[in-house]
């Protein structure tokens, strides 16, 4: 049967699939638009299954805060190539998913996937995009932060983002400075009390072994290790790190220039490995 170019264009607009795929779907369904849409979606599922074992290590990491700035969310949408990750449509799709997360505050990643975007479940749309784009697409990460004030930062290229929560309202520039600090310096925790016990134990063991190799007396190893642990806390916890814009103070002291009680209550940092 004869397929009109207008119908092909309409199907392409509705599904994002290629022109030839749309024409083929219309031919196979005798011009039935709804059935053709379903056929395109089925094809997307088939391609997704074929690509299930592929590595989706590229993508974007996006973060955003709510209008009242009392909550924020972060997502990672993966793909296979940097070419797709830089595509405006791909970034826009990820942004729409993030908006759903901001508006609905899902409990976890699976809850976000089950939510609807444009009348469809997000999980279905992600699978469909695998068929449209021809690469494995995966919504792999979601988390959220709630605080009296939240600040989001996305590093250029959309490969790294941070979300910081504060106990009080904060000046926009100061909040951005702290969020950028977390992005640049990769702290493992907000303060030393937040460092996981296994990390502390590992750092102590490394410090003791290093001191032992340096020929330090065995009875001094514990004391030396504790001293080096203090240096680790200074370099690796957000509030104790030297402030990158002014090395004469740490981040905690920088916040105190605005309010002595101002502090960080939540920190999230996510990056795609290069």
Give strand pairing partners of 153. 162
Q: Do 141 and 156 meet the contact criterion of CB atoms below 8 Å apart? A: no
Please identify which residue in the block is written with the tokens 């070419």: 83
CATH fold of 5-50, please? Answer: Helicase, Ruva Protein; domain 3 (1.10.8)
Q: Do 27 and 3 meet the contact criterion of CB atoms below 8 Å apart? A: yes
pLDDT at 39: 79
Give the full edge-to-edge strand order of the sheet including 264-271: 149-154, 160-166, 264-271
Q: Say if residue 133 is exposed, middle or buried (CB neighbours under 10 Å; 0-12, 13-18, 19+).
A: buried
Structure token pair of residue 176: 């951005």
Q: Could you tell me which residues come within 8 angstroms of residue 34 by beta carbon, excluding any fewer than 6 positions away?
A: none
List the alpha helices (DSSP H) in the chain: 5-15, 19-28, 33-50, 82-85, 88-104, 109-114, 122-133, 172-185, 197-213, 221-236, 251-256
Q: How many CA atoms lie within 13 A of 154 on its CB side?
A: 17
Structure token pair of residue 147: 């605080």
Type and span of the H or E element at 35:
helix 33-50
pLDDT at 132: 81
Please identify which residue in the block is written with the tokens 């031919």: 27
Q: How far is CA 198 from the centre of its chain?
A: 25
- End-to-end, the C-alpha distance of the chain in Å comes to 50
pLDDT in tens, the chain (274 residues): 678 888 888 877 776 677 777 888 888 888 888 888 787 777 765 556 665 566 678 999 999 999 999 999 999 999 999 999 999 999 999 999 999 999 999 999 999 999 999 999 999 999 888 888 888 899 999 999 999 999 999 999 999 999 999 999 999 999 999 999 999 999 999 999 999 999 888 888 888 888 888 888 888 988 998 989 999 999 999 999 999 999 999 999 999 999 999 999 999 999 987 5
pLDDT at 72: 97
Q: How many angstroms separate the CA atoms of 58 and 103, rounded?
A: 26
Computed from CA positions of residues 165, 166, 169, 172, in that sequence, does the dihedral angle turn out positive or negative? negative
pLDDT at 8: 82
Please identify which residue in the block is written with the tokens 């020929």: 215
Query: Which residues make up the CATH 3.30.479.20 domain(s) of the chain?
Result: 54-146
Structure token pair of residue 12: 């392409």
Q: Map residue 88 onto helix, strand or coil.
A: helix
Q: Map residue 241 onto helix, strand or coil.
A: coil
CATH fold of 54-146, please? Answer: Tetrahydropterin Synthase; Chain A (3.30.479)
Query: Which residues make up the CATH 1.10.8.10 domain(s) of the chain?
Result: 5-50
Q: Map residue 64 onto helix, strand or coil.
A: strand
Q: Map residue 243 onto helix, strand or coil.
A: strand
Structure token pair of residue 100: 């759903």
């Amino acid at each position: 049967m004869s397929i009109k170019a207008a119908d092909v264009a309409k199907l392409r607009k509705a599904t994002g699939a290629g022109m030839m795929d749309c024409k083929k779907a219309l031919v196979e369904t005798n011009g039935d638009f709804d059935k053709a849409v379903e056929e395109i979606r089925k094809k997307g599922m088939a391609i997704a299954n074929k690509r299930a074992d592929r590595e989706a290590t590229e993508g974007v990491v996006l973060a955003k805060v709510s209008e009242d700035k009392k909550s924020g969310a972060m997502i990672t949408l993966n793909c296979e190539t940097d070419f797709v990750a830089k595509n405006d449509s791909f970034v826009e799709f990820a942004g729409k998913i993030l908006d759903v997360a901001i508006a609905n505050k899902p409990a976890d990643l699976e809850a976000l996937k089950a939510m609807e975007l444009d009348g469809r479940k997000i999980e279905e749309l992600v699978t469909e995009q695998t068929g449209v784009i021809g690469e494995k697409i995966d919504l792999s990460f979601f988390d959220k932060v709630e605080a009296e004030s939240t600040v989001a930062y996305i590093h250029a290229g959309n490969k790294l983002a941070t979300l910081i929560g504060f106990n009080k309202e904060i000046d926009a520039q100061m909040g951005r400075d702290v969020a950028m600090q977390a992005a640049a310096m990769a702290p493992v925790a907000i303060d030393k009390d937040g460092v996981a016990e296994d990390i502390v134990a590992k750092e102590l063991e490394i410090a003791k072994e290093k001191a032992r190799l340096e020929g330090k007396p065995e009875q001094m190893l514990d004391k030396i290790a504790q001293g080096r642990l203090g240096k680790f806390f200074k370099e690796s916890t957000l509030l104790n790190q030297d402030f990158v814009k002014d090395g004469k103070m740490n981040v905690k002291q920088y916040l105190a220039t605005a309010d002595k009680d101002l502090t960080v209550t939540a920190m999230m940092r996510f990056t795609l490995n290069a």
